[in-house]
């Protein structure tokens, strides 16, 4: 994924992704979605080690993330190493330890966390199946990873790691 943008299945919806430290690729995603950079983006990982240098997780945080039975994206305080094009205007970053086998494999293969944002234009519904994804994004992204979304429908729940406050319900 050297600077490329992919579409791929996640736990709830098809996602658009790229390597988070590649400004050009992230900017392409923001342009595709017509999304403001100040909003920030979610980063998925297959291992919390892929966040090294970006967050300082306590053992309590790690246990909470690893033992969560739901699909949850966590809001975690960021370090100054997180690029602004990932966190936007926030002093935190949205992270998810992905439970989807394809999304996790993409993190493993790239040896990196990945940007993960729903494959849709801002305000519109994401595609519901592989054919719709192909129709909407075949000329826009560099590659579409075959596969189905997980059992959950819709975007993940978003919670604050410190307070457990639900920012966005499922």
Per the CB < 8 A criterion, the answer to whether 124 and 72 are in contact is no
Question: What pLDDT is attached to residue 150?
Answer: 84
Q: Is 1 a residue whose pLDDT tops 60?
A: no
Domains, the chain, with CATH or none: 6-168 (3.90.870.10)
Question: What pLDDT is attached to residue 151?
Answer: 67
List, as one string, the DSSP characters of 36-84: -GGG--EEEESSGGGGTTTB---HHHHHHHHH--S-EEEEEEB-TTS-H
Question: What pLDDT is attached to residue 2?
Answer: 64
User: How far is residue 69 from each of residues 29, 52, 98, measured CA to CA in Å?
Assistant: 29, 23, 12
Q: How confident is the model at residue 170 (pLDDT cuts 50, 70, 90)?
A: confident
Distance CA 47, CA 45 (A): 5
Tell which residue, 121, 170, 116, has the closest CA to residue 145. Answer: 116
Average pLDDT score, the chain: 93
- CA-CA-CA-CA dihedral for 128, 132, 136, 139, to nearest 10: 130
Question: What pLDDT is attached to residue 123?
Answer: 78
Question: What pLDDT is attached to residue 153?
Answer: 66
């Amino acid at each position: 994924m050297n600077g490329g943008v992919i579409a791929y299945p996640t736990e709830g919806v098809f996602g658009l992704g790229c390597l988070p430290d590649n400004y050009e690729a992230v900017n392409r995603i923001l342009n595709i979605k017509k999304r403001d950079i100040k909003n920030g983006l979610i980063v998925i990982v297959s291992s919390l080690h892929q966040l090294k240098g970006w967050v300082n997780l306590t053992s309590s945080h790690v246990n909470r993330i690893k033992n969560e039975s739901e699909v949850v994206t966590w809001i975690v305080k960021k370090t100054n190493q997180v690029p602004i094009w990932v966190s936007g205007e926030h002093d935190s970053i949205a992270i998810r330890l992905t439970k989807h086998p394809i999304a996790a494999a993409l993190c493993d293969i790239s040896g990196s966390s990945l940007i993960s944002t729903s494959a849709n234009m801002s305000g519109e519904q994401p595609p519901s199946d592989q054919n719709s994804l192909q129709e909407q994004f075949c000329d826009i992204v560099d590659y579409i990873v075959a596969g189905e979304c997980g059992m959950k429908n819709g975007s993940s729940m978003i919670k604050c790691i410190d307070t457990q406050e639900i920012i966005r319900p499922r």
